[in-house]
Structure 1
Amino acid sequence: MRTRPLKVALLGCGVVGSEVARIMTTHADDLAARIGAPVELAGVAVRRPSKVRAGIDPDLVTTDATALVKRGDIDVVVEVIGGIEPARSLITTAFEHGASVVSANKALLAQDGAALHALAEEHKRDLYYEAAVAGAIPLIRPLRESLAGDKVNRVLGIVNGTTNFILDKMDSTGAGYQEALDEATALGYAEADPTADVEGFDAAAKAAILAGIAFHTRVRLDDVYREGMTEVTAADFASAKNMGCTIKLLAICERAADGESVTARVHPAMIPLSHPLASVRGAYNAVFVESDAAGQLMFYGPGAGGAPTASAVLGDLVAVCRNKIGGATGPGDSAYTQLPVSPMGEVVTRYHISLDVADKPGVLAQVATVFAEHGVSIDTVRQHGRQDGDGEASLVVVTHRASDASLGGTVEALRSLDTVRGVASIMRVEGE
């Protein structure tokens, strides 16, 4: 075993960073045996140096992150501070001064992953980021390495634990959205400001990363279509149950049937109860991968939290340190296909549309005509009058597969009908 330790700089010492430091200390002997050399925590960059951090030598703590990554004797920089800046500048500086990087920063990688990969390659350093998507679940490395000889066609997943907890609670208890969100907040699953989760921003960043790796092309956050789940109601869940479905906030990355383009999107969707993702409960994550040779694979586990995310970080740290000892680097950016990302209008799927209509003869015929005029074929229709006798009825239409653009034109035309009082909800049906 090599005796000179590999030096690690830790940027950030919050929930994840503190767990990384703890595991590095308590499992030091095992890590050294697995790597072939000891690893040493050489510095910890924080914003509040006065805070007591159990198990961390106060002499290692600094507020000057730039000076830490510039030291020149640092072998690996672990970045768990998140956000775009100063993380981007610090990672850039780390590469320039000879360090490889392990990051958990989904937002930065979704926005600037290509540039960071290019910089890592220029300086012959590693950039690993297993912890950026789905916490402890081994997902990025299987896509980058285990399936490198296969052709991935689709990645469909629940990649945000907060939203899955909320939707699962609405499904299992009949709670409304706000009630379920309040419980998620009380239990610590939701932030005080849950916007990034419930509006799909977090999942969209992860979808961009997954699509880029799965399809060997460059997909940025701006390429990902995004809808949040704040408008999902108890009535939507009732309709889903009538169809033998439940509702999940899904990240969906697909290769077009002709192989000439890809799409990436995040939105609530109905999925059949027979689909493996339908049984994912609580704050857990799961990702379903479909490929030519391997067929269907599912990766499941805790998608967030200090210890699970730290597990992924440490896995990357071991891999990067092994590469360092061997004088090599691991797989870098693979974007050789350069496939375009198609707009959402070209996505083809099924739809569940709930309409409030006038309760009188001929309405169904008018609605069916609008669907036909826009080339959207109807699979099933369910209509029932309101018990309050206000002259309105509910009409639920489930379509065959159609493009999102065609469905959008259909809905716009429906809203112009005098007999349609409102479009109560529109939801895609996936996973069939």
Structure 2
Amino acid sequence: MSTVNTRILDILDIKTAIKEIEKINRDTTKLNMFTEKSLYKAVKILDLSVRAANLLREEALIIGAEAIVSPDVAMFNTTKSDVLILATLYQYKLLCYNLQTKEFGLDRVGESIKQTLHRYNNEYPIFKKGNYSFDFNKNKYIMGILNITPDSFFDGGKYNNVDLAIKRAIEMKNEGADIIDIGAESTRPGAKILTEQEELDRVVPIIERLNKEVDIAISIDTYKSSVAEEALKNGAIIVNDITGLKGDKKIAEVISDHDAIAIIMHIKGDVSSMHETKEYNDLIEDICIDFKNSINIAEIAGIRNSNIIIDPGIGFSKTLSQNYEIINKLKELKSLGYPILVGGSRKSFIGKILNEEVEDRLIGSLAVAAIAIKNGASILRVHDVKETKKVIKILDTIENGVK
């Protein structure tokens, strides 16, 4: 008897599905259906009424999918339940269509599922500002860290005059940086909080010269609207706000007025408590909810959706294990529909696992960078540009082949 050759295919995205399907059947009229049937997703819906949860479960079973609810739902021993749906993309299409005519708010549930899947699977808009364009669907980008501070945890004091800062920016560009992120106020525990004038005095001269002398996108790392305003006037195109637009109430409006890009970082609490660990009911779920609040602030201020990037805030109001959980589950943040930035470079969560001081954390930082890219990050904020560029090049070759 001849051997039957079988294997499991690791199909996790639309591109891979199409590639494998076309090896066997190139019928374009059926390609979409085949692709949708090959991709399986778990979608969680929070706090549905017991009637809605029961009916949703029935509708899922009708199309051959599954909807997991609390055991108390069937007996009406609860008023609400989360629901976890397990289905292929094809089954979700059928389910969302069928829910359009259902009661108990299931029409809105169906629309929410449809939009969430669309955001997760859809391409990001191309970011354009002045001479700079960022296509997060085709490329991964490096944001080089330029700390012009005396007290940053890794490179404090190295670049705190204009000439040294410009020299370092040029060096990072030559090593492969796409963006230079300039920060004047350290966020390490115990660092001094600067006045607006102190921060302006540090950053503005450097941004002015950098904009004139170096052709590279400039980001200002600040949570103060006045600093963001002056930075944008002098050539910055990105505002990297560690408070997620929740600190200074005017900063979102400033970003909108300049049609700049907003990097919205997750933080629970405020600047004064950002290094204190916080309670989370469900870490990724809670981060997504907090992001939606920040995104709402951005939308009200008039910041375009295509000008928003999210950063889960590694090392800010998170425990050691929570930092690693974020990196492991990073792909779940794609359901929000925005490019993801990860800044884990040389941070203490690496040192605590490897028992290494900050100057020895390069290998750990590169490991974090590799997994972050594999799990959906579009931008890496790093100290070590040259080494990170090599990691991205190898990952791109693994995914897309030798060019």
- Regarding TM over 0.5, the answer is no
TM-score w.r.t. length of structure 1: 0.25
Greater strand proportion: 1
- Structure showing greater Rg: 1
TM-score w.r.t. length of structure 2: 0.27
Greater helix proportion: 2
